[in-house]
Chain A
Amino acid sequence: MSGIITKISGPTVVAKGMRKSGMYNLVYVGGMRLIGEVIRIEGDSATIQVYEDTYGLKMGEEIIDTGEQLCIELGPGLLSSIFDGIQRPLAEIAGEYKSFIPTGVALPSLNRSRRWHFTPTVNPGDAVEEGDIIGAIQETTSIIHRVMVPQGFRGIIKDIAETDLLIEDKVAILEDGRDIRLIQKWPVRRPRPFKKKITSHTPFITGQRIIDTLFPVASGGSVIIPGGFGTGKTVLEQTLAKFAKSDVIIYIGCGERGNEIAEVLTYFPELIDPYTGYLLMDRTVLVVNTSNMPVAAREASIYTGITIGEYYRDMGYNVAILADSISRWAEAMREISGRLEELPGEEGFPMYLASRLASFYERAGMIECTDDGNRRGSITICTAISPPGGDFSEPVTQSALRVTGAMWALDTNLARRRHFPAISWGRSFSLYQLDDWFRENVADDWPEMRRWLMSLLQKEEELQDIVQLIGPDALRDQDRIVVETGHLIRENLLQQSPYSPVDAFCPMGKQYSMLKIFSRFYEIALKELGEGRDTDEIFTMERKMILKDLKNMPGEKFPAVTEEIMNRL
């Protein structure tokens, strides 16, 4: 079926003769065959958002409706790939078209000529239904790709492959004659179904002290990372991509810089996953639509990313979605909404901003993949937010706050004084109840230690305010101990460098030991104060050095050295 272009405005096109078209159908636009998607139908005319630059497009050119929705391809070969916002394979495009991305590129998302060794886990005669695993493929060194029965299939296995397969080959044939192939398609805007959502009590461990200790997020939870420009959102997202404990990482570069992606592509291939010892890229999928790439594809990139994530979740993996930045996605939505002349809400964003954000974050969660609960998977969402002027009162931050369970708020002042990660301990929060896990897996008194740290930092902040108002003389000696200890904690515990080979990743055992050491030191300081010593005698250079060196001691040494360090203090 085809229509004719009657209007072109930026990334949106209107066409007539589209009466039979369906919402979200995939269309080819004009002689250049640009990829587009139907986003509004009114009588005979349809509005299409075009995923490529419309420069040079003409009135009267043809629109071809494929009759299918915008889908992405799911199957082995996703891991360690890099896709654009509508899952076009960027590495292959670079191979074919040199260094710039032209319009009208048509290349399949997944490699058609690579063979995968398939090992069946069911036999002919077995009854299967959608979501069941019928076999396995070692997709990368670290991840086994569990081949699942696609949605809408149910029946008895008649025949199953046991050989090397191309992605379009049949893996199984059902009694009813239908066949299952390695590749599946899924409409990006539709969440993949699951049996049951469950509450997760396991933290999403990141190896970053301020996060794991003070503001941990549940695996299957969601967190926003708002911060003005240059506060460290991207560095933090990349740090999570390297060190977060997760089976699969989906990194979505949504409307951000090309050079940042170049950096990921340069360094990631050599990096080792600290948990498995395998290559990091083996568990990673990159979805990248940089700021200068077409804006409608930027809007789609978030859906492409999370749908791939859900696919691995359904296999029973823990997946982290790291998106930088969700604001650019909201802005893409705003731009398209503006072209549609929809009624604008706050700051020109469409009225449905909040509901779209909510339905995106709702796709996080821990789920049961099977009725017996034996297979579980999760999606944890960590999104950067780029508030205009660094002011969090804007619509994207506020709408996201209402639906996510935690916020790691980045502070411009901390970043300017090069305190990194610039996570504000005053403004950040986490609503996840994970104390039990920490008690069981780290230490009995973990919750108490955590509360001690939080209250000390709060007290220090209050005292700093007083100092700013009436000067340091106003402090009592006890307060001075708080301020000095707080200072040492900020410098040596909260700060953590992603560039330091030792300190970039801090295991939980070391986090706990450090917490213990600092709290012991605080006790000693108070005791000595009671004995009449003055602060210079308490905060000696030697002691400061001991505390400063903690960061750079390898994680394996703890807790063995903890006692000895405490004695030295």
Chain B
Amino acid sequence: MGVTKTRDMDLLTRKYRTTEKIVGPLLFVERALNVSIGEMVRIVLPEREEKKGQVIEVSEEHVVIQVLEETTGLSIHDVEICFTESVAKVNLTPDILGRRFDGIGRPIDGMPDIIPERRASITGYPINPVSRGEPSDFIQTGISAIDGLNTLVRGQKLPIFSASGLPAKEIAGQILRQSMVVGEGERFAIVFAGIGITFREASFFIEEFERGATLHLSVIFLNLAEDPAIERLLTPRFALTTAEYLAFEHGFHVLVILTDMTNYCEALREVATAREEIPGRRGYPGYMYTDLATIYERAGRIRGAKGSITQIPILTMPDDDITHPIPDLTGYITEGQIVLSRELHRKGVYPPIDVLPSLSRLMNLGIGDGKTREDHRELADQLYAFYAQGRDLRRVASIVGEEGLSEADRLLLRFADNFEMGYINQGDTTRNITESLDCGWDMLRRFPEDRFSRVRPEIMEKYYAGTNKP
């Protein structure tokens, strides 16, 4: 895969045989004129085999090209570099729905190339902050730990921080299925970018689309683990340019899944290392924050436009470490994070979401009276407060034993367990928002009224006493 044969050559393209060195994924070409930043190049090998590359630096001495495919076997003597005079572009048309492409937009579903309505540069332009519309529509995922405590809203970018072996894709799958539920007159689409994932993971999602009968509503870009690593730098951009087109020109509510962003960051590091750049923290380039921002910020709503882009990036925390630059910089850009926990996973809790480090920053925009329910905010705050205290007490209890705790503290300790097993752990079921909220109150009723600190009396009156129970 990734290697195509070409027959004739565009007479206009400028060709150079002046490659002077190859370092990792980079080619240094001398005396190339009139080259622009971001320009796509074709690297033609003997036998007319061909690879793609992209210009990342130009100077009088040389042009630096990042080769999007394996450079193994390339030799400086026999490669010919053809500049295409065009930056990387994606073909756009509403017919793109239902199609499947490789990591740089070439069809891999056996169907012919699409006939574009127009072509767009994959880097896009930044959304003018003034033109952004505020995300405000609640997306029901069916997962209490998300809906109840870390609510997702349309136009949000909410990553899943996973770790090896944890069920991130299952959770993403569930969010996918649920977010298709749209209001009347609304249209829904999925853009999926597989970035260095295994065939098994890719199949999981594709089956998921089939199962949900959403394959015809999805656009899939796949760069698999065995595909060229550098291509990964382009895959999310192909996906997001497509998403912007569907959302802001055709009014779709687009859900974008980017998985796995850790592989993206590794590719970024590989290029930086080959360029001998001064490394930042743990070897990742100093501009990784900015680079990731140009991906994650391509989510949201635009005032006056019908559609939206909701992003669910998935990443694997190396060594389960949330302070690792990949989750750290991601968390600094995205609007919260859903953090998976190995400990809960071991306990058999599904979904194993650790709600304490998890956060949805846009939650307040999507909840409350008229959206979810008036008690939502306070209920969530109170659950957090008790659970945090209960978790602290686990440490104390492990030292002094449960008997060493006061009755009040024992209550908190038991609450933490019940909360994990009863509220978080919902297995394969889905709960609607009312069920999630009511389940929260069921948990809270273990406490006498005077232990509550985050709930206003009128809300206590109505929900704690249970008068509002269905």
Option from A60, A292, A386, A499 in Cβ contact (under 8 Å) with B297: A292
B27 part of interface (Cβ distance < 8 Å):
no
B74 part of interface (Cβ distance < 8 Å):
no
B336 x A60 contact (CB < 8 A): no
Option from A8, A90, A418 in Cβ contact (under 8 Å) with B130: A90
Q: Mark A548-566, 1 if CB is under 8 A from B, else 0.
A: 1000000000000000000
B207 part of interface (Cβ distance < 8 Å):
no
A54 x B37 contact (CB < 8 A): yes
- Alpha-carbon separation in the docked complex, A544 to B33 (Å): 77
Q: What residues on B are CB-neighbors of A263 within 8 Å?
A: 134, 365
Q: What residues on A are CB-neighbors of B405 within 8 Å?
A: 471-472
Q: What residues on B are CB-neighbors of A265 within 8 Å?
A: 129-130
Q: What residues on B are CB-neighbors of A57 within 8 Å?
A: 36-37
Q: Mark B280-314, 1 if CB is under 8 A from A, else 0.
A: 11000011011001100110101111000000000
Cβ of B406 to closest chain A Cβ, rounded Å? 6
A8 x B125 contact (CB < 8 A): no
- Alpha-carbon separation in the docked complex, A344 to B285 (Å): 13
A334 x B286 contact (CB < 8 A): yes
Q: Mark B125-156, 1 if CB is under 8 A from A, else 0.
A: 11111111111000000000000000000011
- Alpha-carbon separation in the docked complex, A60 to B34 (Å): 7
Option from B125, B129, B356, B388 in Cβ contact (under 8 Å) with A90: B129
A375 part of interface (Cβ distance < 8 Å):
no
Option from B38, B130, B335 in Cβ contact (under 8 Å) with A259: B335
B212 part of interface (Cβ distance < 8 Å):
no
A391 part of interface (Cβ distance < 8 Å):
yes
Specify which of B37, B298, B450 lies most central, judged by the most chain A CB atoms within 10 Å of its CB. B37
A470 x B333 contact (CB < 8 A): no
- Alpha-carbon separation in the docked complex, A98 to B286 (Å): 32
B421 part of interface (Cβ distance < 8 Å):
no
B384 x A417 contact (CB < 8 A): yes
A94 part of interface (Cβ distance < 8 Å):
yes
Q: A55-B87, A347-B281, A348-B286 are in contact. Are A94 and B130 (CB under 8 A)?
A: yes
B432 part of interface (Cβ distance < 8 Å):
no
- Alpha-carbon separation in the docked complex, A344 to B124 (Å): 32
B396 x A471 contact (CB < 8 A): yes
Query: Besides the contacts A335-B286, A541-B449, what 15 more A-B pairs have beta carbons closer than 8 Å?
Result: A56-B121, A98-B131, A100-B125, A102-B125, A229-B328, A230-B331, A253-B129, A261-B130, A293-B126, A335-B290, A338-B278, A338-B287, A389-B328, A418-B388, A471-B400
- Alpha-carbon separation in the docked complex, A55 to B54 (Å): 11
Cβ of B252 to closest chain A Cβ, rounded Å? 16
- Alpha-carbon separation in the docked complex, A472 to B290 (Å): 48
A390 x B323 contact (CB < 8 A): yes
A276 part of interface (Cβ distance < 8 Å):
no
Cβ of A67 to closest chain B Cβ, rounded Å? 26
B255 part of interface (Cβ distance < 8 Å):
no
In the complex formed, the residue of A with least CB distance to B332 is A229
Q: Mark A88-112, 1 if CB is under 8 A from B, else 0.
A: 0011011001111111000000000
Which residues of B from 89 to 136 have beta carbons under 8 Å from A?
Answer: 121, 123-135
- 17 sample A-B contacts, Cβ–Cβ < 8 Å, listed by A number: A7-B57, A8-B58, A54-B37, A93-B130, A99-B248, A229-B328, A257-B335, A258-B127, A258-B129, A262-B133, A292-B294, A347-B280, A388-B281, A416-B388, A471-B404, A472-B396, A548-B453
Which residues of B from 196 to 222 have beta carbons under 8 Å from A?
Answer: none
A491 part of interface (Cβ distance < 8 Å):
yes
B35 part of interface (Cβ distance < 8 Å):
yes
B277 part of interface (Cβ distance < 8 Å):
yes
Option from B130, B134, B362 in Cβ contact (under 8 Å) with A82: B130
Q: A55-B87, A56-B38, A259-B155 are in contact. Are A417 and B388 (CB under 8 A)?
A: yes
Q: Mark A76-91, 1 if CB is under 8 A from B, else 0.
A: 0000001000000011
Q: What residues on A are CB-neighbors of B365 within 8 Å?
A: 263
A259 x B300 contact (CB < 8 A): yes
Cβ of B277 to closest chain A Cβ, rounded Å? 6
- Alpha-carbon separation in the docked complex, A288 to B297 (Å): 14
Q: Mark A258-283, 1 if CB is under 8 A from B, else 0.
A: 11011101100000000000000000
Q: A229-B328, A335-B286 are in contact. Are A290 and B126 (CB under 8 A)?
A: yes
Residues of B within 8 A of A (CB-CB), count: 84
A56 x B384 contact (CB < 8 A): no
- Alpha-carbon separation in the docked complex, A55 to B87 (Å): 8
Q: A295-B290, A545-B450 are in contact. Are A258 and B248 (CB under 8 A)?
A: no
Cβ of B290 to closest chain A Cβ, rounded Å? 5
Q: What residues on A are CB-neighbors of B277 within 8 Å?
A: 338
Option from A90, A471, A541 in Cβ contact (under 8 Å) with B450: A541
A257 x B333 contact (CB < 8 A): yes
A259 x B135 contact (CB < 8 A): yes
Q: Which 8 interchain pairs have the tightest Cβ spacing?
A: A471-B400, A291-B293, A389-B323, A417-B388, A7-B59, A292-B297, A262-B132, A99-B131
Q: Mark A5-22, 1 if CB is under 8 A from B, else 0.
A: 011111000100000000
A7 x B286 contact (CB < 8 A): no
Q: Mark A282-302, 1 if CB is under 8 A from B, else 0.
A: 000000101111010000000
B278 x A261 contact (CB < 8 A): no
- Alpha-carbon separation in the docked complex, A159 to B382 (Å): 68
A292 x B298 contact (CB < 8 A): yes
Q: What residues on A are CB-neighbors of B388 within 8 Å?
A: 416-418
Which residues of A from 529 to 549 have beta carbons under 8 Å from B?
Answer: 541, 544-545, 548
Which residues of B from 308 to 335 have beta carbons under 8 Å from A?
Answer: 323-325, 328-329, 331-333, 335
Q: What residues on B are CB-neighbors of A8 within 8 Å?
A: 36-37, 57-59
Q: Mark A343-357, 1 if CB is under 8 A from B, else 0.
A: 010011000000000
Option from A230, A259, A491, A499 in Cβ contact (under 8 Å) with B132: A259
Q: What residues on A are CB-neighbors of B134 within 8 Å?
A: 259, 262-263, 266
B132 x A468 contact (CB < 8 A): no
- Alpha-carbon separation in the docked complex, A59 to B33 (Å): 7
A467 part of interface (Cβ distance < 8 Å):
yes
Q: What residues on A are CB-neighbors of B395 within 8 Å?
A: 468
- Alpha-carbon separation in the docked complex, A94 to B368 (Å): 31
Specify which of A262, A332, A388 lies most central, judged by the most chain B CB atoms within 10 Å of its CB. A262
Q: A8-B37, A56-B36, A262-B133 are in contact. Are A544 and B450 (CB under 8 A)?
A: yes
B168 part of interface (Cβ distance < 8 Å):
no
Q: What residues on A are CB-neighbors of B57 within 8 Å?
A: 7-10
- Alpha-carbon separation in the docked complex, A386 to B329 (Å): 10
B34 x A261 contact (CB < 8 A): no
Q: What residues on A are CB-neighbors of B356 within 8 Å?
A: 416-417
A230 x B453 contact (CB < 8 A): no
Q: What residues on A are CB-neighbors of B132 within 8 Å?
A: 258-259, 261-262
B278 x A348 contact (CB < 8 A): yes
A237 part of interface (Cβ distance < 8 Å):
no
B47 part of interface (Cβ distance < 8 Å):
no
Q: A259-B155, A338-B278 are in contact. Are A292 and B362 (CB under 8 A)?
A: no
Q: A331-B286, A416-B357 are in contact. Are A491 and B37 (CB under 8 A)?
A: no
B160 part of interface (Cβ distance < 8 Å):
no
Cβ of A444 to closest chain B Cβ, rounded Å? 33
B297 x A55 contact (CB < 8 A): no
Q: What residues on B are CB-neighbors of A14 within 8 Å?
A: 59
